[in-house]
Structure 1
Amino acid sequence: MAHESDALEHERASWKPSPGLAVAVADPVRNPELPPHRERMTDKDPAAMKRAVRTVYTLFYLSIAGSIWAIAAYMLFPIESGEILAIRDNNLFIGLGIALALLAIGIGAIHWSKAVMTDKEHAEPRHATRGRDSTREAAVEAFAAANEESGFGRRTVIRNSLIGALVASVAPAVVLFRGLAPFNTPEDPIAGDPVALLEETMWEPGMRLAHDPTGKPIRAADVTLGSAVHVIPEALAELSHEEGYLDQKAKAIVLLMRLLPEQLIEPDDRKDWSYDGIVAYSKVCTHVGCPVALYEQQTHHLLCPCHQSQFDVTDQAKVIFGPAARPLPQLPIMVDDEGYLVARSDFTEPVGPSFWERH
Structure 2
Amino acid sequence: MSDTTQELAPHGGENSAATTDRFENPGIPPHVPRRADVDPKAAKRAERQVAALFTLSMLGTLGFIAVYFFMEEGQRGWVFWIGEMDVYHLGLGLTLAVSLLGIGLGAGHWAKTLMSDVEVSEERHPQASDDQARLETAQHLSRGYRSAQLNRRPLLLMTAGGALSLFALPLALQVAGGLGPLPGNKLSITNWKKDMRLMIDPSGTPIRPEHVTQGSVFHVMPEGFVGEAAHELDPSVMMTAKAKDSIILVRLDPAKIKSSKQREWGYQGIVAYSKICTHVGCPVALYEQQTHHLLCPCHQSTFDMTDDCKVIFGPAKRPLPQLPITVDGEGYLVAADGFAEPVGPSFWERG
TM range (shorter): 0.7 to 0.9
**Aligned ranges 1:83-232 → 2 under 5 Å:** 93-94=91-92, 97-176=95-174, 177=176, 194=184, 196-211=185-200, 214=202, 216-220=204-208, 229-232=218-221
Deviation at 1:218, TM superposition (A): 4.6
Deviation at 1:307, TM superposition (A): 4.7
Is the Cα–Cα contact under 8 Å of residues 42 and 49 in structure 1 kept in the other structure?
A: yes
Is the Cα–Cα contact under 8 Å of residues 217 and 340 in structure 1 kept in the other structure?
A: no
**Aligned ranges 1:1-12 → 2 under 5 Å:** none
SS at match of 2:323: coil
Deviation at 1:78, TM superposition (A): 6.6
**Aligned ranges 1:194-273 → 2 under 5 Å:** 194=184, 196-211=185-200, 214=202, 216-220=204-208, 229-236=218-225, 237=230, 238-241=232-235, 244-252=237-245, 254-262=246-254, 265-273=257-265
The one-letter code sitting in structure 1 at the alignment partner of 2:348 is W
The answer to whether residue 60 in structure 2 is matched with residue 69 in structure 1 is: no
Give the fraction of aligned pairs with identical amino acids, expressed as a percent: 43
Partner deviation per Cα, 1:242-269 (whole Å, 9 max, x = no partner): 6x444444332x2414354347525323
- Distance in 2 separating the partners of 1:181 and 1:175: 11
Is the Cα–Cα contact under 8 Å of residues 209 and 343 in structure 1 kept in the other structure?
A: yes
Q: Give the aligned partner of residue 29 of structure 2.
A: 35
The one-letter code sitting in structure 2 at the alignment partner of 1:219 is I
- Distance in 2 separating the partners of 1:346 and 1:149: 71
Is the Cα–Cα contact under 8 Å of residues 199 and 350 in structure 1 kept in the other structure?
A: yes
SS at match of 1:69: helix
Aligned-residue Cα RMSD (Å) equals 4.0
Structure 2 residues not aligned, in runs of 5+: 8-14, 77-85
Q: Give the aligned partner of residue 266 of structure 2.
A: 274
Q: Give the aligned partner of residue 290 of structure 1.
A: 281
Deviation at 1:311, TM superposition (A): 2.4
- Distance in 2 separating the partners of 1:46 and 1:209: 83
Deviation at 1:295, TM superposition (A): 1.5
Partner deviation per Cα, 1:104-140 (whole Å, 9 max, x = no partner): 4344333433343221211123334533332221111
Q: Calculate the TM-score normalised by the size of structure 2.
A: 0.72
SS at match of 2:187: helix
Alignment CA distance shift 1:50-1:217 (3 Å): farther
Alignment CA distance shift 1:304-1:109 (3 Å): farther
The one-letter code sitting in structure 2 at the alignment partner of 1:136 is R
The one-letter code sitting in structure 2 at the alignment partner of 1:116 is L
The one-letter code sitting in structure 2 at the alignment partner of 1:133 is D
Deviation at 1:224, TM superposition (A): 6.7
- Distance in 1 separating the partners of 2:314 and 2:5: 75
Partner deviation per Cα, 1:154-202 (whole Å, 9 max, x = no partner): 33222212212222222234445367685xxxxxxxxx782x3432211
The one-letter code sitting in structure 2 at the alignment partner of 1:56 is V
The one-letter code sitting in structure 2 at the alignment partner of 1:63 is S
Deviation at 1:300, TM superposition (A): 4.0
Q: Give the aligned partner of residue 83 of structure 2.
A: none
SS at match of 1:279: strand
The one-letter code sitting in structure 2 at the alignment partner of 1:312 is D
Is the Cα–Cα contact under 8 Å of residues 59 and 107 in structure 1 kept in the other structure?
A: yes
Is the Cα–Cα contact under 8 Å of residues 218 and 341 in structure 1 kept in the other structure?
A: yes
Q: Calculate the TM-score normalised by the size of structure 1.
A: 0.71
Alignment CA distance shift 1:175-1:330 (3 Å): same
- Distance in 1 separating the partners of 2:296 and 2:90: 30
- Distance in 1 separating the partners of 2:140 and 2:152: 16
Is the Cα–Cα contact under 8 Å of residues 310 and 320 in structure 1 kept in the other structure?
A: yes
